[in-house]
Chains A and B, each alone.
Chain A
Amino acid sequence: MQPTSCSSEPNQRIARIAAHLNPPNTQMGESSGPARWNCRAKGGSSGFKVAILGAAGGIGQPLAMLMKMNPLVSVLHLYDVVNTHGVTADISHMDTGAVVRGFLGQQQLEDAVTGVDVVIIPAGVPRKPGMTRDDLFNINAGIVKTLCEAIAKCSPQAIVNIISNPVNSTVPIAAEVFKKAGTYDPRRVLGVTMLDVVRANTFVGEVMGLDPREVDCPVVGGHAGVTILPLLSQVKPPCSFTQKEIDYLTDRIQNGGTEVVEAKAGTGSATLSMAYAAVKFADACLRGLRGDAGVVECAYVSSQVTELPFFASKVRLGRAGVEEIYPLGPLNEYERAGLEKAKKELAESIQKGVSFVRK
């Protein structure tokens, strides 16, 4: 289903007026956790409710810390199958406005996702050296399916940010679960590829001697190996690279995740940079929900920019989630070749995810 493109000015104005008349629901219900973790500091109450599923994990913890610091967050739900009480108690002491609630164990999953605006899913197991993201499929597919079933039941309107690997498959899994439940809105299910963009910006900045915050390199395709396609020909500020630089950068961006898995030598995969990127992306979703104009980021979404059902490219985020998907733009020969290679692997990963739910 093609997401509607709401780029016209009158639509935006109407959306803003509607939002003013029906502000986001900021009611804070009773916490299901012990009273001491139901911390109410009033005054920061205009904002969004965010749930993190997998909040006690390697990504989840720094992600939770950063979201607690985000002024756009009024309520933060932390869910996991272990250790949530400790993480919640810890974070609840930070003197920022978001109210934190912890939810422990599957029996509290539905409460965790009820009434939230954005759900971020880092839950799952990480890679060890020698593993591909696909090797995680068996465990993580089941986890994502269970979590999405709860979301479909309790907060079908939420915008879902999926981090759990392999993203190329877990996003189709989420879509199938929502379709089965009759709640699927393709504008609201996004695979987080922001870390590829962050890495691209950093590595381009290093090579070109630029401030990495000023670099904007689009990364399209998917979120694994050769499905990650940095479009170096479209970098802002415009750069001209030698072929050697293009090879180095493409290779490094595609293997950035593996780089960290190797460096961590069995103790995990990227956690801190993933949390950083995930928060950047979640914040973009929140600014879109708030009605900000021109919020554009790369994300892996249901898409028609290629013949594949899912594809990452630049999208404009708004109150409905993905409001506009931008076409890939002009690709050079190198990038076109990369695109063909990416599509092949991506098609298989998508099929694997879809089959998992349908079987």
Chain B
Amino acid sequence: MAATSATSATSFSIGSKISFGPKASQLLLPKPSVVRFNSQKPLATFSGLKATGSMNCESESSFLGKESYAALQNSSSPRSVKSTGRTQYHLNPQASYKVAILGAAGGIGQPLALLVKMSPLVSSLNLYDIANVKGVAADLSHCNTPAQVSDFTGPSELADCLKGVNVVVIPAGVPRKPGMTRDDLFNINASIVKTLVEAVADNCPEAFIHVISNPVNSTVPIAAEVLKQKGVYDPKKLFGVTTLDVVRANTFVAQKKNLRLIDVDVPVIGGHAGITILPLLSKTKPSVCFTDEEIHELTVRIQNAGTEVVEAKAGAGSATLSMAYAAARFVESSLRALDGDGDVYECAYVQSDVADLPFFASRIKLGKKGVEALISSDLQGLTEYEQKAVEALKAELKSSIEKGVGFAQKQSVAAA
């Protein structure tokens, strides 16, 4: 990397191969690279955790520092778990975490990277892809938020991308085209996830791993097998991201029942494909009455919402922006949990014993070590419709899990 500092500042070449960002300051003078936080107003600088009533009309703080990020915060605050025993948590302005996004130049990766770059909890954002990630990083690095952006291109740089990272998000892979199921992506995406998780195992085995790459029902078991083979598997830290199903459920229920979106929280269990997605409408907060017809219509719509977007995009891709939004919410929840917030609940697809399947999505409590508790009560007190749906989804989920495990074990045998 050229160091064209000293002599003539006017010949400072922008078009050269120098990558900007934190390294740029080294070209000039040794200013401290530590980001100093203004201690006069620690909490005002950061978006509030539960930003419910706190939006000050006269506030001069920037939209993105407070209000819109509050929208993300609001959506991830545990609306379903009220008061009792809520520990006091104040965002510690000194806390800062490292997040890596594998597949950062893709349709999901780019808007996801933008949202994570905007998070006040992130100090380093490492972006990896097989192409085009330099441009994405240069773009994002201009945003005036504290997270330092670095880019890593290709397998030779993957290890460096992952060193010391707290949360790894994996949106890498190909999206569906009209007519395809998530399972049709299996062949390509399974290998991608396997390779990436091997690198995670080698370089940041303690990190939380968020798998977005479809079919999640299979890629999470693949990841688990890879981590086991490397001897670093921690089931509390491996998550299939199903947040988008929750987001969709909230949106469709609020629409249908004319509710304020900010109040609505629908748990979604099972898996992340078609009928394996089971919204527990009977457990919606606030409690609502649905007719049988509404239940069926909403359930089907939530289950097929991904396909709805694939069709609407007519070959141009699958959900990217809403996926980025949902994934960013889950990242934010993970970072708060890592930071000591004792009140973080999300739905996620994890290794589980709540149903008689090795992996199952349900509500979980997140803590510093990852999954702190599985909310097994999600599978109790179900309506007849929901009970039937649980039984119906088990067969498909089981075979998806086995397909993933089989793939990973076959690969391991072939490599031996």
Smallest Cβ-Cβ distance to A37: which chain B residue: B312
On whether A39 and B255 interact (CB within 8 A), knowing A264-B135, A294-B60, the answer reads: yes
Residue of chain B at shortest CB distance from A262? B15
Whether A195 pairs with B142 at a CB distance below 8 angstroms is yes
Whether B113 lies near A94 (C-beta < 8 A) is no
Residue of B nearest to A261 (CB): B135
User: Is A279's beta carbon under 8 Å from chain B?
Assistant: yes
Are the CB atoms of B114 and A41 closer together than 8 Å?
no
Q: Which of A86, A251, A294, A295 contacts B314 (CB under 8 A)?
A: A86
Residue in A65, A72, A248, A256 whose CB lies within 8 Å of B111: A65
B209 within 8 A of A: no
CB-CB under 8 A for A209 and B36, given A43-B260, A263-B134, A272-B114: yes
CB neighbours (8 Å) of A96 from chain B are 71, 75, 261
A94:B14 contact, CB within 8 angstroms: no
| Interface locus among A198-206, A227-235, A322-330 | A198-206
Assess the A202–B143 pair: CB atoms within 8 A.
Answer: yes
Residues B26-84 near A (CB distance < 8 A): 27-29, 31-38, 45, 55, 57-60, 62-65, 67-68, 70-72, 75
Interchain CB contact under 8 A, A66 and B135: no
Contact for B142 among A198, A243, A244, CB less than 8 A:
A198
Inter-chain CA distance A245–B261, complex, in Å, is: 48
Contact between B309 and A93, CB atoms less than 8 A apart: yes
Chain A, Cβ-Cβ closest to B20:
A259
Decide if B138 touches A89 in the complex (CB within 8 Å).
no
Find chain A residues with CB under 8 A from B299 CB. Answer: none
Chain A residues within 8 Å of B118, by CB: 276
Residues of B within 8 A of A276 (CB): 64, 114, 118, 143
For A292, list chain B residues within 8 Å (CB). Answer: 57-59
Most interface-central of A93, A95, A203 (chain B CB within 10 A): A95
Q: How far is the CB of A214 from chain B (nearest CB, A)?
A: 5
* B357 at the A interface (CB under 8 A): no
Interface residue B380 (Cβ < 8 Å from any Cβ of A): no
In the complex, what residues of A have CB within 8 A of residue B22's CB?
Answer: 206
Question: How long is the Cα–Cα vector from A259 to B32 in the complex, in angstroms?
Answer: 24
- For residue B140, CB closer than 8 A to chain A, the reply is yes
Residues in chain B near residue A275, CB distance under 8 A: 114
Which stretch from B225-233, B277-285, B321-329 is at the chain A interface?
Answer: B321-329
Q: List B contacts of A43 (CB < 8 A).
A: 254, 258-263
Q: Contact flags (1/0) for A260-301 with B, using CB distance below 8 Å?
A: 101111011011110111011001100100101111000000
What is the total of A-B residue contacts with beta carbons within 8 Å? 255
Q: Mark A32-65, 1 if CB is under 8 A from B, else 0.
A: 0000110111111000000000000000011011
Residue in A42, A70, A206 whose beta carbon sits within 8 Å of that of B24 in the complex = A206
Question: Are B319 and A90 in touch, CB under 8 angstroms?
Answer: yes
- Say yes or no: A272-B75 contact (C-beta < 8 A), given A86-B309, A208-B31: no
Please tell me the number of chain A residues within 8 Å of chain B, measured between CB atoms. Answer: 84
Cα distance A248–B5 in the bound complex, in angstroms: 10
Which of B154-162, B242-250, B330-338 lies at the binding interface? B242-250
Task: Determine chain B's interface SS by DSSP, over half rule.
Answer: helix
> How close is B301's CB to chain A, nearest CB, in angstroms?
9
B317 in the interface (beta carbon within 8 A): yes
Q: Indicate if the CB atoms of A262 and B14 lie closer than 8 Å.
A: yes
Least Cβ–Cβ distance between B43 and chain A, in angstroms: 14
CB of A92 closer than 8 Å to a CB of B = yes
Taking A94-B322, A97-B261, A213-B146 as contacts, is the C-beta distance between A207 and B31 under 8 angstroms? yes
If A43-B262, A83-B313, A283-B63 touch, whether A273 touches B143 (CB-CB below 8 Å) is: yes
Is there a chain A Cβ closer than 8 Å to B320's Cβ? yes
Q: Please judge, given known A-B contacts A65-B111, A244-B9, whether A89 and B262 are in contact too, CB under 8 Å.
A: no
Give me 24 A-to-B residue pairs in the complex whose CB atoms sit less than 8 angstroms apart, sorted by A's number.
Answer: A37-B312, A41-B261, A44-B260, A62-B321, A65-B111, A95-B251, A209-B35, A212-B35, A212-B144, A212-B146, A243-B9, A244-B9, A248-B12, A251-B14, A252-B14, A263-B138, A267-B132, A272-B114, A272-B136, A272-B139, A279-B63, A284-B63, A292-B57, A294-B58
* B-to-A contact residues, CB < 8 Å: 9-10, 12, 14-15, 20-22, 24-25, 27-29, 31-38, 45, 55, 57-60, 62-65, 67-68, 70-72, 75, 110-111, 113-114, 117-118, 132, 134-146, 244, 247-248, 250-251, 254-255, 258-264, 305, 308-309, 312-314, 316-317, 319-322, 324-326
